Amino acid sequence: MCPMTELKLGWCSREAAAYAVMHWHYSKRMPAAILAKIGVWENGQFVGAVMFGTGANSGLLRPYGLSQTEGCELVRVALRKHESPVTRILAQSIAMLRARYPKLRLIVSFADPEQGHIGTIYQAGNWYYSGCSDAADEYLINGKRWHGRTVRSKKPAHLTTKQFATMLDPNVQVAKGSSKHRYLYPLDRKMRKQIESLSKPYPKRVFCGGSVESDTSVDQTEEAGATPAPRPRE
């Protein structure tokens, strides 16, 4: 019989979070405007980090009538090979986030179809699906793709986004990125009632021959049907 895996979560340093992103997340980039960095350990070994952010996209919470201090985005789940279900890790991360920031009312997250993601861990965790986001502007700078809001978060105030991008790479290319699947996790009863009206059927991946299968939305191995994270009752 295999020994039970001991899972422990705790607040971690930026250095630890950056290590997880650089080694275990497909983006290889730290997000801007990080609100919370939560480290994940199994049997005493560091296996990754979960990060929540706010502020990079001023319009993120506007459709829900919330200020930037009332919601946040799940911006990274960067994990190496691990035993615990990602949904369990997210459930504990959200509990820690709510305890530290009790005024938060909503978490938003996105799954990128260009990475083959449709958001299975959000589906297993009972998040609400609200459709696809608008296609965002992206910049190809020195051979790497940058999200427009990432470039805007780094540029000096006196420069336009295009001017700053051109300073970084005179041959910068601007393009429209993909629309992303948007998932919502309300943190109180009133917000849940508001979000329910926006809920749509979960997207599924369709393979040749018409078979349907879910995926892992944040570059992690996660079987469908993992223990869901319960929605808040209060």
The β-bridge partners of 42 are 7, 45
Residues 17 and 82 in one domain: yes
pLDDT means per 10 residues, the chain with 234 residues, are 80 97 91 92 97 78 92 95 94 97 95 80 94 75 78 82 87 76 95 93 65 37 34 46
Helix, coil or strand: residue 194: helix
The β-bridge partners of 78 are 49
Indicate whether 168 belongs to any domain: yes
Report the pLDDT value the prediction gives residue 205, as an integer from 0 to 100: 67
Indicate whether 76 belongs to any domain: yes
Q: Domain with 86 in it: what CATH number?
A: 3.40.630.30
Indicate whether 60 belongs to any domain: yes
Residues 171 and 190 in one domain: no
Residues 184 and 201 in one domain: yes
Indicate whether 220 belongs to any domain: no
Indicate whether 113 belongs to any domain: yes
Report the pLDDT value the prediction gives residue 47, as an integer from 0 to 100: 97
Residues 29 and 116 in one domain: yes
Helix, coil or strand: residue 195: helix
Report the pLDDT value the prediction gives residue 3, as an integer from 0 to 100: 64
Report the pLDDT value the prediction gives residue 49, as an integer from 0 to 100: 97
Contact 140, 173 (CB under 8 A): yes
Candidates 175, 92, 105; CA nearest to 135 is 175
Q: Give the chain's domain count.
A: 2
Residues 106 and 209 in one domain: yes
Tell me how far apart the 2 most distant CA atoms of the chain are, in Å. Answer: 63
Residues 75 and 162 in one domain: no
Report the pLDDT value the prediction gives residue 226, as an integer from 0 to 100: 31
What residues make up the domain containing 168? Answer: 136-177
Q: Can you read off the two tokens belonging to residue 226?
A: 């993992």
Residues 102 and 66 in one domain: yes
CA distance 124 to 221: 13
Report the pLDDT value the prediction gives residue 201, as an integer from 0 to 100: 93
Residues 185 and 146 in one domain: no
Contact 98, 187 (CB under 8 A): yes
Residues 32 and 148 in one domain: no
Residues 53 and 157 in one domain: no
Indicate whether 218 belongs to any domain: no
Residues 43 and 69 in one domain: yes
Q: Can you read off the two tokens belonging to residue 218?
A: 């944040």
CA distance 106 to 188: 8
The β-bridge partners of 53 are 34, 73
Report the pLDDT value the prediction gives residue 213, as an integer from 0 to 100: 37
Q: Are strands 106-111 and 71-79 parallel, antiparallel or unpaired?
A: parallel
